Amino acid sequence: MREITTLQLRAAYIAISLGVLIGIAGFVRTGALLISAGTGVIALSQWDKRRFERYLPLAIAVVLFGLAIALPKGL
């Protein structure tokens, strides 16, 4: 697997921060998608860690992505 660079990690942290801010602003679906994408990148960057630290954040990101897709559209 290719190594994730610091620029990609910085973009992931920015995506998570924007996702939180966008979610607070009322666009929960978009915020959840950004948070799950950022969390997935960070989880993939920890691939050489132990099993639990590797798969739990990735599983959370996948579940959050599925939840964001399942949310109904806004009013």
The total of other beta-carbon atoms located within 10 Å of residue 31's CB is: 20
Q: pTM to 2 decimals?
A: 0.78
> How many CA atoms does the CB half-sphere of 9 hold within 13 Å?
9
**pLDDT truncated to tens, each residue of the chain (75 aa)?**
567 788 888 999 999 999 999 989 988 888 988 999 998 888 888 777 777 777 888 888 889 888 888 877 654
